[in-house]
Amino acid sequence: MASERQIAANRCNAEKSTGPRSDSGRKRSGQNALRHGLARPMSAADLEKQLENLARQIGGHSDDPAMLALARTAAEAELELSRVRQVKKAIIERSMVFGGLESPSYFLSGIEEIQWQIAEFECLQGSRPSKPLLPVIVDPSATLPEEEFARTAEAVRRVLSDLASIGRYESRAAGRRERAIRKMIKMTSMNRKKKVS
């Protein structure tokens, strides 16, 4: 059990970690879930038809409403998995073409950028005679290997953290599909036992 001192420390820390405080920071962080569109629910007329067809295939010839509801859940999860795979593929393809998801940078490292900013600041103060030249933009796609396999591997390495963040959507959908299918199997075996009895 937590002591009074630990509880007070936890409350103090919680007050400090309130997220972004400025309006622009709140607006920016409010868009985090919309970066790839996977947080939005799937909805469209043609998707409903596709969902029903897939649910009928999964549910078989069953007329049981509970079985069809589970089949719809499994079908919806399968379509969600398909959408996640499409987003992953698009991220990797974009990385292969452009070298990454972020826009090209003027600097090879953060240290170079800081050194340039210091030189610019010194120029503004008058302690430096001339303004430093801005380097040529580094093209991230030019640093990708030429060989297709190596290019794909490097592209995936560059977007690995983005792919990992999408993994939670994939695991949730896979879990929903597996739970629905397990319940369908259980219902089918229970119905067979009832028919035998």
pLDDT (tens digit per residue) in 168-180: 889 999 999 999 9
Clarify whether residues 134 and 172 are in a common domain: no
Q: Within a domain: residue 161? A: yes
Separation in Å, CA 135 to CA 89, 140, 165, 179:
33, 14, 33, 55
Q: How far apart are CA 94 and CA 102, in angstroms?
A: 10
Clarify whether residues 151 and 180 are in a common domain: yes
Report the domain count for the chain.
2
Q: Within a domain: residue 131? A: yes
Q: Within a domain: residue 26? A: no
Q: Within a domain: residue 1? A: no
Q: Which strand (E) or helix (H) includes residue 47?
A: helix 45-59
Clarify whether residues 167 and 188 are in a common domain: yes
Clarify whether residues 192 and 116 are in a common domain: no
Clarify whether residues 154 and 124 are in a common domain: no
pLDDT in tens, 100-110: 555 556 667 77
Clarify whether residues 112 and 96 are in a common domain: no
Contacts of residue 76, defined as CB under 8 A and 6 or more positions apart, other chains included, come to 42, 51, 176
pTM over 0.75: no
150-164 average pLDDT score: 79
Domain extent, residue 115, equals: 105-138
pLDDT in tens, 128-139: 777 777 766 655
- Per the model's pLDDT, the better-predicted residue between 104 and 15 turns out to be 15
Clarify whether residues 128 and 49 are in a common domain: no
DSSP string, 85-99: HHHHHHHHHHHHHHS
Clarify whether residues 90 and 133 are in a common domain: no
Clarify whether residues 49 and 132 are in a common domain: no
Q: Within a domain: residue 38? A: no
